[in-house]
Structure 1
Amino acid sequence: MIKPLLIFLLLPFAIFAQNKSEKRLLKKADKIHARAYTVDTHADAPINMMDMEGFDVGAKHKYEEDGTQIDFPRMKEGGMDAMFFAVYLAQGKRMPEANAEAKEKALKIFKKIHESVEKNAASVELVTSAKEGFKAHKKGKIGIFIGMENGWPIGTDLTNLKMFYDLGLRYITLAHSFNNDLSDSSGDPEGDEHGGLSKLGEECIAEMNRLGIVVDVSHLSDSAFYDVMRLSKAPVFASHSSCRALCDVKRNMTDEMIKTLASKGGVIQINFVADFLKKPSADVAVSIKTIRMQTMKAETSPEEKKKLNAELRQIKYKYPSDVPTVKDVVNHIDHVVKLVGIDHVGIGMDMDGGSDVIGVEDVSKIKNVTIELLKRGYSAKAIRKIWGGNTMRVLAAAENLSKNM
């Protein structure tokens, strides 16, 4: 009888010690975020800004109520200093009329981002370089960079690149889930069309290098990835990808790809989409893939996409063992660090585009990632590199190459 009684008496002290330890870690995480320049390389907030009636990115929302994950107040609350807002379009038909329509839709997204930043100018700033990002941070302002997910709006006219660059574009994910005129995609059910990059895609890389636009290899087929690595004179990154060794899906990068990326000074930013972090069971995987492919079709309406995404969340939470936690995220970070070192990993959460991690339900909770990194022995210096330092190095390298070409 003495032993159970002793455990009962000691239990409050154990809980107290645990709470004290958690508070100490949170305090340390707060200090790190106060000094760090935290950057997320892939944020799909513009989807809600464009498609959700009445959605205001400058007002605080609740994930539990509307399923959204990003707004400026929650960025501030979480200690997120900057995000690359994605100009995203699902791949549609590849013909002159459709390309022109894609361009116009992209321009509307650029306009919406600019308007939202201007509306919140007291606390938010559009930034287009590492230097501008750091300056905004010193002023206490959130920085909004712009990336493009899917090069479809470029069409077959590479002069569009300069126009998009002038609007603030600083990276392009060449293709999305289907092949386009620039590149093969890892997700196209028809397989490779160009055997990697097309001739136009190769010319696009050269023009992006000239302008200082980072090439993003996320979503690309393996052969297209290696074409980019062969052709780009500037370091590139994978704005929202994870490790195939830990989760065997084509969207993720193999160890050999990560080594090649790192050898050229690049960075893989870990994606927080559930099925790219932790492979779900077979039945769940089929359901997730079916819904995801439907949401990616250009003809799917915003209302249908909202219903499909809600259905996707329900499927995942019906099977909690298939939903990743913060530990799964850091497992992928650990894998990259062990493989190629601390200088080649970052974070691209894909929030509002499928991100679904227990513990980081929205951008206000990103310090839970920092806490897990601290638990595993990462130094403050290493965490600052992961949370933005490595990404800013790649952006600055692309800028410097452009200036010297």
Structure 2
Amino acid sequence: MKYIDMHCDTILTVPDDGSSELLINNPKASVDFDRLRQSDAMAQFYAIFLMNEEMFKEEGKKYIPDDEYILRSVNMLKEAVKNTNYMEMAYNYNDLMNNSSNDKISALLTIEDGRSATSIEKIKRYHDLGIRLITLTWNFENSIGYPNSDDKTIMQKGLKNYGFKAVEYMNEIGMLVDVSHLSDGGFYDVASIAKKPFVASHSNSRALSPHNRNLTDEMIKIIAEKGGAIGLNFAPEFLAKDITNTHSKIELMINHLNYIKNIGGEDVIALGSDFDGIQGNLEISGSHEMPKLFDALKNNGWSETQLEKLTQKNMLRVIKETLK
């Protein structure tokens, strides 16, 4: 079954001296082009995760300033796509549908952490580069707003003045607003001003797994009312009641999908695996194993219509209504 995955960190797996060919075939990663083809993917969103200097050191990589790193990552993905006959870049709904009709898998670009998007001009520059989604924050405060946090004071803080302008501009130019990692206060600010559907690209239900990165029932309902989508995150700590859990199980994924579907309706469910950004014992270890989830959902009583909404139709609607 064709599917759209809203989030992976696979670009991180390519070393400084690595080749773009590692995006095509790389057994050490959870996602590569060959396995996307094997699993009958329709589209993969590739996040450009902005590491700080300490993370670069931990990864044994030379520090690269944000804009240089973004440009390098964009060019690397585009180069890899050009070196295949079954992948193609996509920037909007028409691109994606044209690619699909030509039996090509679409690659879409995102930025995880809006810390580099410090002006409207920079957001426009990223859009011109082909970026079509920005995760507004990661785990630290930036010029847009505040992160998801165990600190209740930080959690209650919303968008900064510039953050409101950034969200409005992203709506205007056709770029998806992603609230995964955003503070609860920031979530409600986005909801109050968003004129287009927005997404939580890789988040689950907080009622089932009390990690602050997950969404409350009210948040699920709001995203649904706005016509947005919630991408199921495969990370173990976001799936279980015990947030120290290290086992990502299909059974737990189904629990979250059923819960989110029951709270927000079947039009809000989507996929956001977070492959290559998660660790632990993964029952679905990479894109090649995605059909395991779909088969399990069928056995759980999901109809073909519900499966199609989860795997592609809900995100196709969101893409059609937002991206330019």
Cα deviation per residue 1:229-255 (whole Å; 9 max; x = unaligned)?
Answer: 001100101000011000001100001
Render the CA deviation track for 1:258-281: whole Å, top value 9, x for unaligned: 111111111111101110111447
Match of 2:197 among 213, 232, 235: 235
Partner of 1:5: none
Q: What pairs with 1:179-218 in structure 2 (closer than 5 Å)? A: 179-187=141-149, 191-192=153-154, 195-218=157-180
User: Partner of 1:292 in structure 2?
Assistant: none
Alignment of 1:68-79 (within 5 A): 68-79=29-40
Which residue is 1:339 aligned to? 263
Q: Which residue of 2 aligns with 1:249?
A: 211
Check if 1:172 corresponds to 2:134: yes
Secondary structure at the counterpart of residue 143 of structure 1: strand
| Residue number in structure 1 paired with 2:57 | none
Tell me which stretches of 4 or more aligned residues in structure 1 moved more than 6 Å.
none
Q: Secondary structure at 1:366's aligned position in 2?
A: helix
Tell me what 1:147 maps to.
110
In the alignment, which residue of structure 2 is the partner of 1:43? 8
Q: Which residues of 2 match residues 4-403 of structure 1 at below 5 A?
A: 33=1, 36=2, 38-51=3-16, 53=18, 56-62=21-27, 66=28, 68-90=29-51, 101-120=65-84, 122-155=85-118, 157-187=119-149, 191-192=153-154, 195-280=157-242, 285=244, 322-354=246-278, 356=280, 358-399=282-323
CA deviations on 1:146-205 (whole Å, 9 max, x unpaired) are 1111011212x2201111111111111000011111011003769529921000100101
Query: Retained in 1: the 8 A contact 2:9–2:277?
Result: yes
Corresponding residue for residue 296 of structure 1: none
| 1:360, distance to aligned residue in structure 2 (A) | 0.9
The one-letter amino acid paired with 1:184 is Y
CA separation of 1:177/1:223 partners in 2, compared to 1, >3 Å: closer, same or farther?
A: same
Q: Please report how far the alpha carbon of residue 50 of structure 1 lies from its aligned counterpart in structure 2 after TM superposition.
A: 4.7
Deviation at 1:379, TM superposition (A): 1.2
Cα-Cα RMSD: 2.2
Which structure has the larger Rg? 1
SS at match of 1:125: strand
Distance 1:356 1:333 in 2: 20
| C-alpha separation in 2, matches of 1:374 and 1:193 | 38
Q: Whole-Å Cα distance in 1 between the matches of residues 22 and 316 of structure 2?
A: 24
Cα distance in 1 for residues equivalent to 2:269 and 2:168: 25
- Distance in 2 of aligned mates of 1:206 and 1:76: 36
Given that residues 93 and 320 in structure 2 are in contact (C-alpha distance below 8 angstroms), is that contact kept between their aligned partners in structure 1?
yes
Q: Which protein has the bigger helix share?
A: 1
Cα separation, partners in 2 of 1:372 and 1:154, compared to 1, 3 Å: same
Q: Percent identity?
A: 29
For structure 1, the 5+ residue unaligned runs are: 1-32, 94-99, 286-315, 317-321
Q: Give 1:91 deviation, angstroms.
A: 5.1
Alpha carbons 1:326, 1:357 under 8 Å: kept:
no
Residue-by-residue CA offset, 1:6-33 (whole Å, 9 max, x unaligned):
xxxxxxxxxxxxxxxxxxxxxxxxxxx1
Unpaired runs of 5+ residues, structure 2, are 55-63
Q: Distance in 2 between matches of 1:54 and 1:251?
A: 33
Which position in structure 1 is the counterpart of 2:58?
Answer: none
**How many pairs does the alignment contain?**
315
Q: Is the 8 A contact 1:90 1:150 kept in 2?
A: no
